[in-house]
Amino acid sequence: MRRILVTGGAGFVGSNFVHHVMATTDLDVTVLDKLTYAASPAALEGCPPGRVRLVVGDVADAEVVGPLVAGHDAVVHFAAESHNDNSLRDPAPFVRTNLLGTFTLLEAVRRSGVRLHHVSTDEVYGDLALDDPARFTEASAYDPSSPYSSTKAGSDHLVRAWVRSFGVPATISNCSNNYGPWQHVEKFIPRQITNVLAGGRPRVYGAGRNVRDWIHAADHASAVLRILERGRIGETYLVGAGGERSNLDVVRLILRLLGRPEDDFDLVGDRPGHDLRYAIDATKLRTELGWRPAYSDFEAGLADTIEWYVAHPGWWRAHKREVEAAYAAVGQ
Ligand code: NAD
Ligand code: DAU
């Protein structure tokens, strides 16, 4: 492999992946990104000159995607509409990008024989009970809850079908909740950090007992590269770093790290269909591919992330007002 195409490489996890590729390989990267509201081209600054090229385009546009795919040795597919709350307000872009976009990419890969890695989510498996010791594995049944997760589940099914029916050389990863720099302020951790930095209070849905399995985006990036390089074609790998925490625990930790009383938050209306708990068993990735996360201390990773938001007010303030207006319209 010399040149790879990274869809959605100007987004939160995709840009982390591009930096990881720059730091650990000799590969050149073309980023294909539509530059939606969620993109941050600035996140790609600092990449070695000449090794990263940005093509602005839609992954659902076959005329753009076909020739681009044919000119690369592999494709890593991050591009997606990624936020559950947005998918409840307007599912249409989720169906278009997550389903039609993945279909378009698969057809291009089928014609050219290029290797594909499809980046997906643990939400395709639905949720677990709070008191259930079980975790998701590669054998868990698909049972998505939201428009977002159902379109990601559908995209996984498309990839599996193209592997089996057409012999497309693809792998899939399903990862848990990411945190780290450059995450959009619509998402839970950046929203609460920036609420506090803007002089407000965190806003926690329902009773705050829902559990998410947090992993640093840099660790997600290293897992995706490991699967691209060493994963077995046709296989799915779950990605997680043992970071289960309730939303209440996370928000209290954010408040403590920012020097505020731990009960200084508001409980607001719940997300419709809100998944209770996600938890990943990453044994296959660890044993088969030898992957290990670099960030084993969630509190330290969260403290670094808070520092990053403190240091980049110009970036997040540009989105904050619009995001909060959309939440306020539904009482959240
Ligand atoms: P993000 O919303 O931050 O970034 C998505 C990127 O895709 C943006 O740069 C956007 O401009 C681009 N994009 C959107 N529609 C496009 C289109 N039609 N054509 C080309 N580009 C388009 O998302 P993220 O959090 O970085 O997630 C990236 C991928 O990782 C997604 O597939 C998501 O399902 C998956 N994932 C994310 C997490 C997480 O916690 N963030 C966890 C597991 C899996
Ligand atoms: O599990 C992987 C998924 O994690 C990814 O596939 C998605 O792209 C990513 O957005 C994330 O989905 P979640 O819905 O879990 O993440 P979000 O940051 O939106 O919310 C995390 C938890 O916090 C969830 O239980 C809802 C809750 N929440 C969220 C917001 C924005 C709040 O309590 N208050 C909030 O203001």
Give 183 Cα–ligand 2 centroid separation in angstroms. 12
Catalytic hit among 81, 122, 156, 213 = 122
CA angle 38, 43, 49 (to 5 degrees): 135
How far apart, in Å, do the first and last CA atoms of the chain sit?
Answer: 46
Per-residue pLDDT reduced to its tens digit, 105-164:
999 999 999 999 999 999 999 999 999 999 999 999 999 999 999 999 999 999 999 999
Average pLDDT value for the chain: 98
- Token readout for 151 is 């379109």
Q: What predicted TM-score, i.e. pTM, was given to this entire model?
A: 0.98
Sorting pLDDT into bands at 50, 70 and 90, what band is 224? very high
Per-residue pLDDT reduced to its tens digit, 170-221:
999 999 999 999 999 999 999 999 999 999 999 999 999 999 999 999 999 9
What pLDDT score does 13 carry?
Answer: 98
- CA neighbours closer than 13 Å in the CB half-sphere of residue 89: 13
Instruction: Assess whether the C-beta atom of 181 lies below 6 angstroms from ligand 1.
Output: no
What pLDDT score does 49 carry?
Answer: 82
Catalytic hit among 125, 148, 278, 295 = 148
Which of 134, 281, 136, 258 has the alpha carbon at shortest distance from 194?
A: 258
Residue 278 has pLDDT above 90, yes or no: yes
Could you say which ligand is closest to the alpha carbon of residue 215?
1
Would you call 257 exposed, middle or buried from its count of C-beta atoms within 10 A (0-12, 13-18, 19+)? middle
Instruction: Assess whether the C-beta atom of 187 lies below 6 angstroms from ligand 2.
Output: yes
Domains of the chain (ranges plus CATH)? 3-179+215-239 (3.40.50.720)
